[in-house]
Amino acid sequence: MVVIDGKVLAAKLQGRLAEKTALLKDKTGLEPGLVVILVGENPASQVYVRNKERSALAAGFRSEVVRVPDTITQAELLGLIERYNQDDAWHGILVQLPLPAHIDEEAVLLAIDPQKDVDGFHPTNMGKFWSGHPVMIPSTPAGIMEMFREYGITLEGKKAVVIGRSNIVGKPMAQLLLDAHATVTIAHSRTENLAQLAREADILVVAIGRGHFVTKDFVKEGAVVIDVGMNRDENGKLIGDVAYDEVKELASYITPVPGGVGPMTITMLMEQTFEAFQRNLDK
């Protein structure tokens, strides 16, 4: 069994990114700019935003975190986004989710300039992705594909099962696996005989949002198991969707939580910010 170390891979990729950024900065005098807008005081969001800011600075980016109270109106938030849309110094705009109940999440995502939507959630970017002409790709699935490449994991002809059907992870993950010539099934919490279905998978990606949901009964021997889950147990410890200690005995490759998929998600956000910067230079 091989543990797929997302922290080590992320550090390697971010090191390369910092070198590319420094070269372009020397050549043009410009640098990629990433702004993250954080609404309210959600503790998990605070952690995610700190990690994003740290990674952006390490890559040599211009970084800004805009913290606004959860009492901000939707109109005020949309106005703030538009300000960054119009400012050429910023190449990536992230609005940290979730948002307060009085703000329409879809309206906020629609407000971000698709060329600066480094999360890849804007319908324009989703449409390009689904039609086979991707510009921005949701970062978690993109990071998982980098893991497969780094570890030499063959996808072509393999049977892949994705447990989870969100627009952020499950659906785009399935599309990327299809693009890599895997045979893909999307499953979810209401799938009948889910464990039996999962046991058929050569590649099992779990993004269902339930701590230790996937046990050894879901995994065939030799499967590659990718755990996207980020949950807290009764003691507040961070755990994945996969019962790691029992599943690792069956898996050929497995990602831990923490230290697996999470660091790669942030790394791919940085990569896409850099690519948006390059496209802006090429205009």
193: left (phi over 0), alpha (psi -120 to 50) or beta: left
The DSSP 8-state label assigned to residue 98 in this structure reads P
Annotated catalytic residue within 96, 115, 175, 272: 96
Please answer whether residues 76 and 69 qualify as being in contact, where contact means their C-beta atoms are separated by less than 8 angstroms: no
Q: Is 171 a catalytic residue?
A: no
| Omega before 258 within 30 of 0, i.e. cis | yes
CB atoms within 10 A of CB 130: 12
| Cβ atoms of 177 and 171 closer than 8 Å | no
CB 7 within 8 A of CB 143: no
Task: Using the structure block, give the residue that is written with the tokens 């979730």.
Answer: 98
- Confirm whether 96 is a catalytic residue: yes
CB-based contact 230:262 (threshold 8 Å): yes
Q: Which of 5, 14, 116, 119 is catalytic?
A: 119
> Which of these is catalytic: 5, 14, 52, 115?
52
Residue stretches of the annotated binding site for NADP(+): 164-166
DSSP E strand boundaries for 173-254: 183-187, 203-206, 224-227, 231-232, 238-239, 253-254
Which letter, b or e, does each residue of 146-163 get, where b requires 16 or more Cβ atoms within 10 Å of its Cβ? bbbebeebebeebebbbb
52 noted as active-site residue: yes
Which residues does the annotation mark as catalytic? 52, 96, 119
